C-alpha cells in the first residue's frame, strides 16, 4: 500500500507541475499576443493620424489658395471635396504596407510589444514626440490567479527556474501567478 500511495503522490506532483508549466506557457503566449496587438494598434493610430494631418494640410492649402484668388466659401466648401479624400487613401495604404514589407515596421512593433510587456514607462516607439505609456497596470501584465492546490507545484517550479536563471547570470523572474487566498 505504501508503494502505491507513494507512486500516486509522485504522479499527482508531476501532473501539478506539468499543469503549472502549461499555464505559464499559456500566460506567456497570451501576454505576447496582447502586447503585439496593442503595439500594432498604436502603429495604426500613428498612420491614421498622419493621414488626417495630410488631409488637414491639403484642406488648409486649398482654402488659402482659393481665398487669395477671391473665392468665397460657404460653410460646406471649406473642407476638401470627398473625391480628394478618396484619392489620398491609396497612397497611405500602400505606404503602410511598404513600411512593413521593405522597412522595419515588424521590428518596431515587436520592440514596442516587448516594452509593453516589461511594463516600464516609455514613449511610444521610442519617439520623443509621442506619448509616454506606462503599461504595468494592463490586465495581461498582471499575475494569473491560480487555485491554492497548485501552490506547492508553483513554488517548486519557481525555485528550479530561479536557480537555473541565477546559474546563467540572470535575475530571478517576477512572480507570474498569485493564488486565490493571496488575491489583493
Cell (9 digits) for 45: 493610430
Interval 28-75: pLDDT, tens: 999 999 999 999 999 999 999 998 888 888 888 888 888 888 887 776
Three-class secondary structure of residue 122 per DSSP: strand
Residue/partner pairs of 147-151 with CB below 8 Å, 24 or more apart: 147/179, 147/180, 148/179, 148/180, 148/181, 149/16, 150/16, 150/19, 150/20, 150/23, 150/177, 150/179, 151/179
DSSP state of 73: P
With a cut of 80, say whether residue 2 has pLDDT above it.
no
pLDDT more than 90, % of the chain: 60
Nearest to 17 by CA among 162, 157, 148: 157
Interval 158-177: pLDDT, tens: 999 999 999 999 999 999 99
46 contact partners, CB below 8 Å, separation of at least 6: 124, 125, 130
Amino acid at each position: 500500500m505504501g508503494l502505491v500511495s507513494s507512486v500516486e503522490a509522485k504522479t499527482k506532483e508531476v501532473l501539478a507541475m506539468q499543469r503549472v508549466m502549461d499555464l505559464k506557457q499559456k500566460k506567456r503566449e497570451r501576454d505576447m499576443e496582447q502586447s503585439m496587438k496593442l503595439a500594432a494598434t498604436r502603429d495604426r493610430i500613428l498612420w491614421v493620424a498622419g493621414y488626417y494631418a495630410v488631409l488637414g494640410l491639403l484642406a488648409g492649402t486649398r482654402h488659402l489658395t482659393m481665398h487669395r484668388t477671391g473665392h468665397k466659401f460657404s460653410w460646406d466648401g471649406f473642407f476638401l471635396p470627398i473625391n480628394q479624400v478618396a484619392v489620398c487613401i491609396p497612397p497611405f495604404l500602400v505606404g503602410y504596407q511598404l513600411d512593413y514589407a521593405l522597412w522595419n515596421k515588424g521590428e518596431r512593433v515587436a520592440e514596442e510589444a516587448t516594452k509593453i510587456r516589461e511594463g516600464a514607462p516609455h514613449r511610444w516607439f521610442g519617439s520623443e514626440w509621442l506619448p509616454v505609456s506606462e503599461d504595468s497596470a494592463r490586465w495581461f501584465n498582471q499575475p494569473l490567479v491560480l487555485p491554492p492546490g497548485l501552490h506547492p507545484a508553483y513554488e517548486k517550479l519557481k525555485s528550479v527556474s530561479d536557480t537555473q536563471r541565477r546559474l546563467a547570470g540572470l535575475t530571478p523572474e517576477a512572480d507570474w501567478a498569485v493564488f486565490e487566498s493571496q488575491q489583493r
